[in-house]
Amino acid sequence: MADTPTDNEQPPLILVANDDGIESPGIKQLAAAMQALGEVHVVAPRNEQSAVGHAITVRDPVRAEPREIDTPAGRIEAHAVTGTPADCIKLAANQLLPRRPALVVSGINRGPNTAVNVIYSGTVSAATEASILGIDAVAFSLCSWEDADYVPAGRIAARVIGHVLNNGLPPGVLLNVNIPCRPYDEIRGLRVTRQARSRWEESFSERTDPFDRPYYWMSGEFVNLDEGEQTDLAAVEDGFVSVTPLQHDLTAHAHLDDLHERFEDAEAEEAAKHAENSSS
Ligand code: MN
């Protein structure tokens, strides 16, 4: 949940991050969309960090260059960071911002972060890191790899964040929002979804470097294994905005009791037998 503001006069501080890099069109549209809702600071990677997942930088220094970025809503204060999306959130929250942010928004990513892509996504990881720090967070992705129009997605983001600022999020829950790439008036509405089961089927081309050593280049094909209607993929396909609640607690809670029996109880039985044998 967001911190209770001590000073009601102060607008909420909104931290904007991404993984496509600080000069990408998606982050500029998102920062512009947030301008009407609060005080906006952008802290984002200097270079593209797509698919770095939740990596953090621990063996190298991280540098943050203050700059202003040009957005459709004018110039906005920003820092360009040499680290990953998760680094950006940690550094911003602990060091760069004048106070604790009320909200972190990440994106608008170029390309979908539906299904298993959530695992690899730097965009989602920025929001996850905020959630770990106890800050409400939402990741936004536009489902197109082309040079798309980010204006409709920006309007969607403003609407979703309006809800979040008014109502907050459950503790430990962040939102992963995927927006279909179509004109604003052709977006059919919003669906709360779950991640579709899916995987990438990868192949590697082997090539030879100038020193005659082999190297590998990965490519992959996305495979949807889920025909369910409640999924993020189905929503976007049908022209709806997909809103998936995520949590950084990766525990498979539904299986705790089952595995308790299989491991702890079996282990305790073994130990009891062993004690019996050695005492006799
Ligand atoms: Mn990206």
- Please report the DSSP string for the chain in residue order: -PPPPS-TTSPPEEEEE-SS-TT-HHHHHHHHHHTTTSEEEEEEESS--TT-TT----SS---EEEEEEEETTEEEEEEEESS-HHHHHHHIIIIISSS--SEEEEEEEES---TTHHHH-HHHHHHHHHHHTT-EEEEEEEE-SSS---HHHHHHHHHHHHHHHHH---TTEEEEEEEESS-GGG---EEE-BPPPEEEEEEEEEEE-TTS-EEEEEEEEEEE----SSBHHHHHHTTPEEEEEEES----GGGHHHHIIIIIIHHHHHHHHHHHHHH-
Residue 47 phi, psi (nearest 5): -120, 165
- What is the pLDDT, as a whole number, of residue 1? 47
- What is the pLDDT, as a whole number, of residue 19? 98
The CATH architecture assigned to 13-249 reads: 3-Layer(aba) Sandwich (3.40)
- What is the pLDDT, as a whole number, of residue 63? 98
Q: How far is the CA of 56 from the centre of ligand 1 (A)?
A: 16
Q: How far is the CA of 140 from the centre of ligand 1 (A)?
A: 10
Length of the chain: 280
Q: How far is the CA of 7 from the centre of ligand 1 (A)?
A: 36
Task: Tell me the pLDDT of the chain (280 aa) as tens digits.
Answer: 445 545 567 899 999 999 999 999 999 999 999 999 999 999 999 999 999 999 999 999 999 999 999 999 999 999 999 999 999 999 999 999 999 999 999 999 999 999 999 999 999 999 999 999 999 999 999 999 998 999 999 999 999 999 999 999 999 999 999 999 999 999 999 999 999 999 999 999 999 999 999 999 999 999 999 999 999 999 999 999 999 999 999 999 999 999 998 998 888 888 999 898 887 6
pLDDT tens readout for residues 96-128: 999 999 999 999 999 999 999 999 999 999 999
Q: How far is the CA of 6 from the centre of ligand 1 (A)?
A: 35
End-to-end CA distance of the chain: 58
Q: How far is the CA of 123 from the centre of ligand 1 (A)?
A: 6
Distance CA 16, CA 1 (A): 18
User: For the chain, which residues make up each domain, given as ranges?
Assistant: 13-249, 253-280
- What is the pLDDT, as a whole number, of residue 265? 86
- What is the pLDDT, as a whole number, of residue 131? 98
- What is the pLDDT, as a whole number, of residue 30? 98
Q: How far is the CA of 84 from the centre of ligand 1 (A)?
A: 12
Q: How far is the CA of 117 from the centre of ligand 1 (A)?
A: 11
Distance CA 200, CA 279 (A): 55
Q: How far is the CA of 192 from the centre of ligand 1 (A)?
A: 22
Q: How far is the CA of 249 from the centre of ligand 1 (A)?
A: 23
